[in-house]
Amino acid sequence: MVLKSKLILMITSLFLLVILPQLGYPHGMSEADKLAIIEGGNLRYMWLGVTHMLSGYDHLLFVFGIIFFLTNIKDIIKYITAFTLGHSVTLIFATFNAIQLNYFLIDAIIGLSVCYVAFANIGGFRKYLNINQPNMMVMITGLGLMHGFGLSTRLQELPLSEDSLLLNIISFNVGIELGQISALAFMLIILATWRKSPAFQTFSLIANYGLILAGGLLFLMQMHGYEHHNNPEEFAVNTQSFENTKNNSAGATILPQPQRKDSVNITIPARGNKEYKFFIEKGATLEYIWQTNGEALFFDFHGEPAGDTTGYFKSFKKSTDSQSSGSLTTSFAGTHGWYWKNNTSSPITIVLKTKGEYQRLDLNEVLDQTEPVKKSNSRTHDTLD
């Protein structure tokens, strides 16, 4: 029995050691996930929903806290259904209507929701605040709405298509529920086994205090991220570094282009997209910073070699954000710039500031070096002329 108790304590400790270091990082989608969902259909949306929930430690911690002391199957179904309805409503409604909230603030609130349910589990309202606990069903439904905003924020990081938009969102939500059911079944098995231990009450207290600690750390880290996000560094910040060479393939030295500095306003239409490109010689440097009027855009900062007819391009940075800055030293001569996708229902204006050795294609400047050859294959990006 002592051995079993030590085993349970070890499992709990390992769980906390694994989960706590991850709390500073929201469970965003990987680039592979983004490409898969862009290219795929409803089944891929569903599968991404499954994997996203199973990797969503903040949502899983909240569900774990909900069912911690529930032994009646009817109560489990009742409370989980309340949470499911809550996050499904905001996930579908917010994504379909392109309602975006700051993801750092949303994740901070989700962190507090984990603290709340664990605090309720230890009887904190009566023990520490000397007040009656708020109606748990109402609170779980309300907090579920906030979790839905978090899921919607992640889904809106993708350049969602207008075609079958609602069906894609519903497919993603179905995947979320399938992932939640799978995780819930595992949690119930663990808890059912755990309750047989005479040390369950002691370890449950430790576990719920651990949930409070985990939720608190998530809150603090996300608030730190919010402050950092809203106070960006001054232009220009060298956040990226690429191959730095001044020689072309023939070994001859490329003379640097004249240094120039530009500021351009670019408007991306609602549910639309645009490209903005420069021609840059190999080994030249471009410093940049761009910022929207508040809304986040999906973007792909990439380059295409001059003279290439295969459709090849190299992505340097791909994400969803309201701003980006950095420095690029090119490894090949060709066009370099951004593709932006606006998923919102309103136009978004970008202010792009650049400095370096480049030529602007939107001004139809005559190129001194090799002019890029138009590719034979069709492109899906609309170039800004």
Give yes or no for residue 377 having a pLDDT over 50: no
User: Which CATH class for the 232-385 domain?
Assistant: mainly beta
Give yes or no for residue 247 having a pLDDT over 50: no
Tell me the pLDDT tens digit for each residue of 15-68: 444 444 444 444 455 555 556 565 667 788 888 889 889 888 889 999 999 999
Kindly report the average pLDDT of the chain as a whole number: 79
Give mean pLDDT, residues 118-136: 94
- Please tell me the predicted confidence (pLDDT) of residue 337: 93
Tell me whether strands 334-341 and 297-305 are parallel, antiparallel or unpaired: antiparallel
- Please tell me the predicted confidence (pLDDT) of residue 372: 42
Share of the chain above pLDDT 70, in %: 74
pTM: 0.59
Q: For 118-132, 238-252, 257-271, 302-316, which range has the lowest pLDDT when averaged over its residues?
A: 238-252
Question: Where is mean pLDDT largest: 54-58, 242-246, 270-274, 336-340?
Answer: 336-340
Which part of the chain is CATH 2.60.120.680? 232-385
Q: For 69-83, 86-100, 190-204, 279-293, which range has the lowest pLDDT when averaged over its residues?
A: 190-204
Give yes or no for residue 317 having a pLDDT over 70: yes
- Please tell me the predicted confidence (pLDDT) of residue 233: 45
